[in-house]
Amino acid sequence: MEVFEQHESVVRGYCRSFPVLFDTADGSYLNSADGTRYLDFFCGAGTLNYGHNDPDMVEACIDYLRRGGLLHSLDLYSQSKAQFLRAFHARILAPRQFDHKIQFTGPTGTNSIEAAIKLARKVTGRHAIACFTGGYHGMSLGALAITANPAKKQSMGVQVPGVIRLPYDGVHLQDVATQLQMLEDMFCRPGYGNDLPAAFVLEAIQGEGGINCASDEWLQGVAALARKVGALLIVDDIQAGNGRSGPFFSFESSAIVPDIICLSKSLSGLGLPFAVTLLRPQYDIWSPAEHNGTFRGNNLAMLTATVALEKFWQNDDLTQAVHAKGQQLRQQLQEGLSGLPIGAHIRGRGLMLGIAFDDDSFAKRLSAALFERHMVAETCGPASQVLKCMPALTMDTRDLLEGGERIIQVAHALSR
């Protein structure tokens, strides 16, 4: 580990929670250089929904490289882009009757967010962006400005005006109708003094914020409010999308149709950097090359994304499997943790589950103790008070139950 301490910036983070040297990975396992297998309940924060190194995606990459497939091409027309566009339309957009255009942004989630808020400002001619408590949208300046976490924002260095922070569903304990009325008052009642926003930006399930789910009614209300005040609705589905909660998009049960949808993390399927911003066609008003970038539409990632779409999204088998596995894990955890001396509260949807404990420091200690038992599970929430359970959607039942059992046993051992 000396090489990292000696040469890598102190900004490194996850490696401090999981300090071993990793070398290979397969399916639901990360393998350290000394051959220890770690069961992965984190999946790169939702980047590995189909597990590590899916053999069909790896094979496609090897073939592509062997035949001299184009790797870097700016945003030139490429065979892999054509195939991705066709597959994404056929497997994801058309079945949902979505008519969104696909914008390739720089390769990480935050790039997709920047494009979204920039376009919303251009469309509306407004500056303010309405965002929510607990929201996490990335580390570049615009995305960071609308992110809630103060520890991440302390080094922002400049002030970014025009951010209106609103309470997320459930933060104030009123019923949904009262919460929605409060939100509407903020913009529609005289005397509140808020600028009308260019957009409302939200996660339908907050990942970093602590696995908080918005109700369908609340999402519908925010969508209606956005329409009423002439703002765009941007859903950041970077972590919760790609089937993590069951359906491809996390907001599908609400039947809302966001004006802009941000996707990244699991989109490539293989963990390669790749992001897109989906735009309703009437808002696709960019001038050519107005939002540019050297690494947009990484060809290898478009290739593996296409394999993922054809392999997992031809029917709703994966969605059904995620519902069933999520139910199974939730029930196992609920029963197994019910006897703990401290309260454990399970939240989330599909295989995007979180466990909040009555003692805020417990999740952090649990994550560390699980790592000693060769399991990777991270924490989330503003005080790292929630243990995240995000196994691969493709994890087999035996590994899933094994992971659940380890969490239960270690939690009991720790709380004794």
Ligand X SMILES: *Cc1c(COP(=O)(O)O)cnc(C)c1O
Kindly give, in sequence order, each residue whose CB lies less than 8 Å from that of residue 177, ignoring residues fewer than 6 positions away.
217, 221
| 239 binds ligand X per the rule CB under 6 A | yes
100 contacts 88 by C-beta, under 8 angstroms: no
Task: Give me the residue label for tokens 């509306």.
Answer: 124
Coil, helix or strand for 124? helix
**What b/e readout covers 77-111, taking b as 16+ CB neighbours within 10 angstroms?**
ebebbebbbebbbebbbeeeeeebbbbbbbbbbbb
What whole-number distance in Å separates Cα of residue 156 and Cα of residue 149?
12
Kindly give, in sequence order, each residue whose CB lies less than 8 Å from that of residue 373, ignoring residues fewer than 6 positions away.
406, 409, 410
**Token couple for 241:** 């999308």
Mask: binding to ligand X, 4-33, rule CB under 6 A, as x and -? Answer: ------------------------------
**Token couple for 154:** 């302390």
Q: Shortest gap between Cβ of 332 and ligand X (angstroms)?
A: 26
- Residue 336's CB: how many other CB atoms inside 10 A? 17
| 238 binds ligand X per the rule CB under 6 A | yes
Q: Shortest gap between Cβ of 56 and ligand X (angstroms)?
A: 24
Of 45 and 395, which CB lies nearer to ligand X in the complex structure? 45
What whole-number distance in Å separates Cα of residue 101 and Cα of residue 69?
26
Residue nearest to ligand X according to CB distances in the complex: 109
386-415 residues in contact with ligand X (CB under 6 A) are none
| 44 binds ligand X per the rule CB under 6 A | no
Applying CB under 6 A, which of residues 54, 114, 169, 236 lies at the interface with ligand X? 236
Mask: binding to ligand X, 100-139, rule CB under 6 A, as x and -? Answer: --------xxx--x----------------------xxx-
Q: Name the segment binding ligand X (CB under 6 A); options: 6-14, 162-170, 236-244, 365-373.
A: 236-244
Radius of gyration of the chain (CA): 21
**Token couple for 401:** 């139950």
Q: Shortest gap between Cβ of 399 and ligand X (angstroms)?
A: 24
What whole-number distance in Å separates Cα of residue 43 and Cα of residue 24?
14
Of 108 and 306, which CB lies nearer to ligand X in the complex structure? 108
262-281 residues in contact with ligand X (CB under 6 A) are 264-265
**Token couple for 177:** 């109708």
188-207 residues in contact with ligand X (CB under 6 A) are 203, 207
Binding residue count for ligand X, defined by CB under 6 A:
16
Of 81 and 265, which CB lies nearer to ligand X in the complex structure? 265
Mask: binding to ligand X, 203-232, rule CB under 6 A, as x and -? Answer: x---xx------------------------
Residues that bind ligand X (CB under 6 A): 45, 108-110, 113, 136-138, 203, 207-208, 236, 238-239, 264-265
